[in-house]
Chain A
């Protein structure tokens, strides 16, 4: 199993600013992902964080808005740029690496944009 620490747990940001979310895993994992959960909705995959290279983004998500870094096997950051009220969501880091493709999640970051 993997224990994932995510911070901040919540933040309130002004329109036009950016927020960077950090994700630390307690063991080396193959895969790390970032998800968004809009109010009352289920989870949507933003991107796969690739170690030492550019993230792989899902349809509808772009690097300029959601830059992601993963400098090593246990750490990743997601930045949400040029914030608007529509970015108010829970952002979730997840990781996995076993053959069973089991996913583990961090505690989430609840972002509110004013």
Chain B
């Protein structure tokens, strides 16, 4: 059974710092992996999707990587800003939209 773990559960950094969020999974047979952002009490915003054949994806200050052999994905945020404060969730599927979500990393960027 696939298990998705995100460490740390919470992270507080000063503005301007580069940071890495981690997502680990137990079964490497995945179809794709998505990173989402969730603001308190709100829905999810899709940030990046990495298909199983890809190694990384970039969007602006965000870069997500995928290493299936080690069961890891990382989300790199460059030059963090207070507006980046949110919970970041990774989710993956082995196909047919059966996504399994991690428990998230709650990020706070201090001004």
Contact = CB atoms under 8 A, between A and B. Distances in A.
Query: Does B bind A?
Result: yes
Interface of A: 4, 6, 10, 31, 33, 41-45, 48, 90, 92, 94, 96, 100-108, 110
Interface residues of B, number: 24
Contacts of B95: 101
7 contacts: A45-B98, A92-B44, A96-B97, A100-B49, A101-B96, A102-B34, A102-B46
Interface of B: 31-32, 34, 36, 41-46, 49, 51, 89, 91, 93, 95-99, 101-104
Contacts of A94: 44
Contact of B101 (A4, A43, A48): A43
Contact of A90 (B31, B41, B93, B98): B41
A100 B103 CA distance: 23
Contacts of B89: 42-43
> Which of A4, A96, A101, A108 has most B Cβ within 10 Å?
A101
Contact of A103 (B96, B97, B103): B97
A113 B97 CA distance: 30
Given A6-B43, A42-B89, A92-B44, A31 B97 contact: yes
B49 A102 contact: yes
A103 B28 CA distance: 20
Contact of B32 (A10, A43, A100): A100
